[in-house]
Structure 1
Amino acid sequence: MSDHLVDAAETPVTGAPRLALTMGDACGVGPEIIARWWGQGAHAATVVGCPQVMQRAVASLSAAHRPAVVRLAAWADGRGLLPGQMGVWAPPGLPADLIEAPWGRVDRRAGVAAAACIRAAVRLAQSGDAAGIVTAPLHKEALALAGEPYPGHTELLQAEGTPPGQPIAPVRMMLANPQLKTVLVTIHVSLRQAIEQVTFDAVLETLRITHRSAQLWGQPRARIGVAGLNPHAGESGLFGDEELRIIGPAIKAARAEGIDASGPWAPDTVFMRARHAPPEHIGEFDVVIAMYHDQGLIPVKYMGLDQGVNVTLGLPFVRTSPDHGTAFDLAGTGRADASSFGQAVEMARLLLSGRGVRV
């Protein structure tokens, strides 16, 4: 294993890279978990990021987990690297002094770099040069300091993934682990705004996107359980009428289209009912639709962060991510767990196989 950067010219070039791995926030654990995961074997992928930052991350790991960082002059140069070599391509727009951004702190330069990597990866996916995208965590505050108008990955990917001149394509955030899948109607907005955004059209569109996406992970007619917005799903209007006016009619419309949707169910029990952990517990639903961010994400994250995966449904390309954040307290320690990142890669491969692509 190498402790210094290697140029791609020193390696043979065969085959083609398949996945684009964006390094995330340079000050967080993103570069480190990519490097740790990479050190576990050979991979059909290329990192979109800063070679110096990736080398710093590699140096934080024990010798047994250190891949050799190969600096690529062009994306195409990442084809056919040798086992133990990790190709890193620096896209346009990276700050020249990014390596000076310290671990464990919010830094504008890291936000600029994270956004540049995402945009470059989207271009690669749109052109077919990358089969899909797996994103390491970014920091929303750093993104804001960089002047980005998007509160997170999902919104940035949604904007960048829409062709010029066309209306913004509807997308949805799904968090999944082997026991539970949840899809959100609303995401990174205040709770008050989320309630306002729970409309008939938003719920129906979420059901449609979820139904189509489930076909890619091998469930042609997924059983979709829909959570209510209010306690006890409104208790027939006693605790709120959104279930009667909005959510119930949207479910009825989805069923008329052949979507296997049911509810609205009480939010405090629907996730337990959907949990699939055979043989002791067989889930009643394959996926749950949640009305707002914390309603859907708390149940999945409570089961553990090591196997959770974030998937953006509705994009014209595959995008997955680990379900945890930048973990500034662990950055640079060499102790960050790469399990969720590995699961994100496996989910990307599963979704790509549903599109007839093998990576």
Structure 2
Amino acid sequence: MIGITMGDPVGVGPEITLKAIGTMSAEDRAQTRVFGCTETLCHVARMIDSPLKPGEDFAVTDLPVEGGPLPMGKLDKRAGAAVFRFIQAAVRAAEAGQIGCIVTGPINKEALNAAGHHYDGHTGMLASLTGQKGAFMLLASERLNVIHASTHVSLNTAIERTSPERIRDTIRAGHAHLRRIGIEAPRIAVAGLNPHCGEGGLFGDEDTSLIAPGVEMARDEGIDAHGPISADTLFHRAYNGAFDLVVANYHDQGHIPIKLVAFDTAVNVSVGLPIDRTSVDHGTAFDIAGKGLADHRNMLEAIAYARRLVAGRKT
């Protein structure tokens, strides 16, 4: 069973959830449960002319939204409060073994924080709900995969957090994940932090003093790790097949190339949690919410990846 959290009730999450479920076979639909608000799902189904009847055509763990259905496309802390309850319920179901993987719809961080839930996004929230110190964000696409040593922090903070141990741990997490999905000997490359990896100290020494030792630590464990490699060429090389995974040092270093080559199909995967979670790699798109214009391909990819993870765990 795959659990889908429908995302912010006033964003495109309910719409792409309905559209994705509408394309499923009867067998896959029977193995899908939505954690969200039945009333909101029915409201959006009418808005986009979906023939689906939530709670009848597919299972719903119904968590009503205060004051719902809320106006579409308008930031609302009541939606942020509902989002937290959707995710919390899905996490508890995953921990209990009732669902094999969570697929999360897009959320609005401002609404979430306005509701009193102070997280930087899904990854931090899921780590907190499962009692973990943290988790790694991996973005997966057909030809380029990136795992991040840091994500939703300032660039200064990302640099401050860089350490050989952090680099090694990120490589380890990516290596274990790729092995799980069937890549027996993953080739992993770590991007340089500074231009041209510091150019021998001309542009900083973090690459030689912090990143290179972390790569060596991973290599000592038998992992096929390389780097640091100048980021201005590394992503191109990985996209063309030289590496199975790139370690990015900060949020935009990894997100920009992925969104350039796979904006509509990339999947966000949380690595290092006791439960499995995938997600769409886009936002709530308030400007088109409820208009029937949202593209659900990203949601389909996230669901397919979730089923792949469940299959990998069974084997």
TM-score by length of 1: 0.84
- 1:336 lines up with 2:294 in the alignment: yes
Partner of 1:55: 42
Partner of 1:68: 53
Is the 2:81–2:115 contact (alpha carbons within 8 Å) kept by the matching residues of 1?
yes
Of the three residues 135, 140, 147, the one matched with 2:104 is: 135
Partner of 1:27: 10
Of the three residues 294, 305, 311, the one matched with 1:347 is: 305
What RMSD, in angstroms, separates the aligned Cα atoms of the two structures? 1.3
Of the three residues 280, 283, 293, the one matched with 2:251 is: 293
Is the 2:164–2:215 contact (alpha carbons within 8 Å) kept by the matching residues of 1?
no
For 2:281, give the aligned amino acid: D
For 2:22, give the aligned amino acid: G
Of the three residues 148, 173, 190, the one matched with 2:137 is: 173
Deviation of 1:332 after TM superposition, in Å, equals 0.6
Q: Distance in 2 between matches of 1:295 and 1:208?
A: 19
Partner of 1:124: 93
For 2:15, give the aligned amino acid: E
For 1:69, give the aligned amino acid: P
Q: Distance in 2 between matches of 1:237 and 1:351?
A: 42
Deviation of 1:66 after TM superposition, in Å, equals 2.6
For 1:233, give the aligned amino acid: C
Q: Structure 2: where are the runs of 5+ without partners? A: none
For 1:309, give the aligned amino acid: V
For 1:353, give the aligned amino acid: A
For 2:13, give the aligned amino acid: G
Map Cα deviations across residues 162-182 of structure 1 (whole Å, 9 max, x no partner).
2xxxxx344100111111000
Deviation of 1:95 after TM superposition, in Å, equals 3.9
Q: Distance in 2 between matches of 1:204 and 1:126?
A: 28
- Secondary structure of the residue that 1:106 maps to in structure 2? coil
Q: Distance in 2 between matches of 1:258 and 1:98?
A: 54
Partner of 2:164: 200
For 2:58, give the aligned amino acid: M
Partner of 1:242: 206
Query: Kindly, what percent of the aligned residue pairs are identical?
Result: 43
Deviation of 1:248 after TM superposition, in Å, equals 0.1
Of the three residues 273, 284, 299, the one matched with 2:242 is: 284
Is the 1:143–1:151 contact (alpha carbons within 8 Å) kept by the matching residues of 2?
no
| Mapping for residues 95-106 of structure 1, pairs under 5 Å | 95-99=65-69, 101-106=70-75
TM-score by length of 2: 0.96
Deviation of 1:96 after TM superposition, in Å, equals 2.9
Q: Distance in 2 between matches of 1:289 and 1:190?
A: 18
Higher relative contact order (CA 8 A, sep 6+): 2
Map Cα deviations across residues 321-341 of structure 1 (whole Å, 9 max, x no partner).
011110111101001000000
Q: Distance in 2 between matches of 1:56 and 1:264?
A: 51
Q: Distance in 2 between matches of 1:337 and 1:34?
A: 10
Partner of 1:186: 150
User: Which 4+ residue blocks in structure 1 deviate beyond 6 angstroms?
Assistant: none
Is the 2:124–2:134 contact (alpha carbons within 8 Å) kept by the matching residues of 1?
no
Deviation of 1:60 after TM superposition, in Å, equals 2.1
Map Cα deviations across residues 154-213 of structure 1 (whole Å, 9 max, x no partner).
000011112xxxxx3441001111110000000111111111111222111101111111
- Secondary structure of the residue that 2:186 maps to in structure 1? coil
Partner of 1:7: none
Is the 2:37–2:65 contact (alpha carbons within 8 Å) kept by the matching residues of 1?
no
Of the three residues 5, 8, 19, the one matched with 1:36 is: 19
Q: Distance in 1 between matches of 2:259 and 2:197?
A: 22
Is the 1:134–1:348 contact (alpha carbons within 8 Å) kept by the matching residues of 2?
yes
- Deviation larger for 320-329 or 213-222: 213-222
Partner of 1:14: none
Partner of 1:305: 263
Q: Distance in 1 between matches of 2:161 and 2:9?
A: 33
- Secondary structure of the residue that 1:303 maps to in structure 2? helix
Map Cα deviations across residues 28-49 of structure 1 (whole Å, 9 max, x no partner).
0000000011111232111000
Aligned length: 311
Q: Distance in 2 between matches of 1:301 and 1:96?
A: 34
- Secondary structure of the residue that 1:69 maps to in structure 2? coil
Distance 1:38 1:300, change over 3 A: same
- Secondary structure of the residue that 1:133 maps to in structure 2? strand
Q: Distance in 1 between matches of 2:204 and 2:214?
A: 17
Is the 1:215–1:354 contact (alpha carbons within 8 Å) kept by the matching residues of 2?
no
